[in-house]
Amino acid sequence: EAGVVQSPRYKIIEKKQPVAFWCNPISGHNTLYWYRQNLGQGPELLIRYENEEAVDDSQLPKDRFSAERLKGVDSTLKIQPAELGDSAVYLCASSFDRFTEAFFGQGTRLTVV
Amino acid sequence: DQQVKQNSPSLSVQEGRISILNCDYTNSMFDYFLWYKKYPAEGPTFLISISSIKDKNEDGRFTVFLNKSAKHLSLHIVPSQPGDSAVYFCAASERGSGNTGKLIFGQGTTLQVKP
């Protein structure tokens, strides 16, 4: 069974440029999460989807970040414009439902210069 | 405010010995706890979990202990193997509330198992 797939693996952009990350969750998983992990820290939740509905986006900086999960499967996370402080690893995870363990993708390492 | 804390940034043990990783939490509403393992350039991998109705859960070489009164949990790895060298994250969630599914992670502990 394929795991959570994320792309790209690495991205280097100049500040003020836009960037997008893509996530394909494990088939059949209804819950999808986007986390951000800063260097030396644990992952922090940005947004959680139940199917196509965002049920927890309280930590998402809505002035520059947006996310969507069309048809309740794949998801994209966008930053526009990017700032130097956005440099981090962005992790996507999925779970069968909100009560079960989340499985993580390999992450996208974003560097803003 | 860090709700989940792993106060030891790193731990080094000899192969074959026991590794004990510790985690403290402050939110008494947390009722489900997990440990994830992370290798470099990979995403975290689920290792083991425990519900607050239990005080111990075992899976092969891995055992998690929960002390609710102390708001403390620990992961024991016996015997430790070089392949266990990784960053270990403790995570907690409130399964009995609307925040179900939101994991709060600790900062991680880097375990090195020496051959």
Q: Give A36-57 pLDDT, tens digit per residue.
A: 999 989 999 999 999 999 988 8
Residue pLDDT, tens place only, B28-37: 999 999 999 9
Instruction: Name the closest residue on chain A to residue B43, using Cα atoms.
Output: A106
Looking at residue A72, what is its pLDDT?
A: 81
The arithmetic mean of pLDDT across residues B92-107, rounded, is 81
Q: Which residues of B touch A104 (CB under 8 A)?
A: 36, 43-45
Q: Would you state the pLDDT for residue B48?
A: 96
Chain B CB within 8 Å of residue A28 CB: no
A12 exposure class (CB count in 10 Å sphere: 0-12, 13-18, 19+): exposed
Is the confidence at residue A98, as pLDDT, over 90? no
Shortest Cα distance from A107 to chain B (angstroms)? 6
Tell how strand A19-24 and strand A5-7 pair up. Answer: antiparallel
Q: Which residues 64-103 of A are in CB contact (within 8 Å) with B?
A: 91, 93, 95, 98-99, 101-103
Evaluate whether A20 touches A29 at the Cβ level (below 8 Å): no
- Residue B90: pLDDT over 70: yes
Which of A33, A41, A98 has its CB closest to that of B107?
A41
**Cα separation, A105 vs A48, whole angstroms:** 15
The pLDDT value given to residue A99:
83
As a dihedral over the C-alpha atoms of residue B76, residue B81, residue B86, residue B92, rounded to 10 degrees, the angle is -20
Distance from B11 to chain A by nearest Cα, in Å? 15
**CA A74, CA A21: separation in Å to the nearest integer?**
11
The four Cα atoms A70, A44, B38, B61 give a dihedral, to 10 degrees, of: -100
Distance between first and last Cα of chain A: 37
Chain B closest-CA separation from residue A29 CA (Å)? 13
Would you place residue B100 in the very low, low, confident or very high pLDDT band (cuts 50, 70, 90)?
A: low
By Cβ distance, the residue of A31, A56, A104 closest to B43 is: A104
**8 Å CB contact of A107 and B43:** yes
Residue B61 · residue B75 · CB < 8 Å: no
Three-class SS state of B71: coil
Which residue, B80, B73, B90, is CA-closest to B115?
A: B80
| Residues in chain A, overall count | 113
Residue A58 has pLDDT above 90, yes or no: no
Nearest residue of chain A to residue B92 (CA atoms): A101
Please classify residue B20 by burial: count the beta carbons closer than 10 Å to its beta carbon, then call 0-12 exposed, 13-18 middle and 19+ buried.
middle
Contacts of B50 (CB under 8 A, 6+ apart): B32, B33, B34, B56, B57, B64, B66, B73
Name the average pLDDT for chain A: 94
- pLDDT over threshold 90, residue A5: yes
| pLDDT per residue as tens digits for the range B41-89 | 899 999 999 999 999 999 999 999 999 999 999 999 999 999 999 999 9
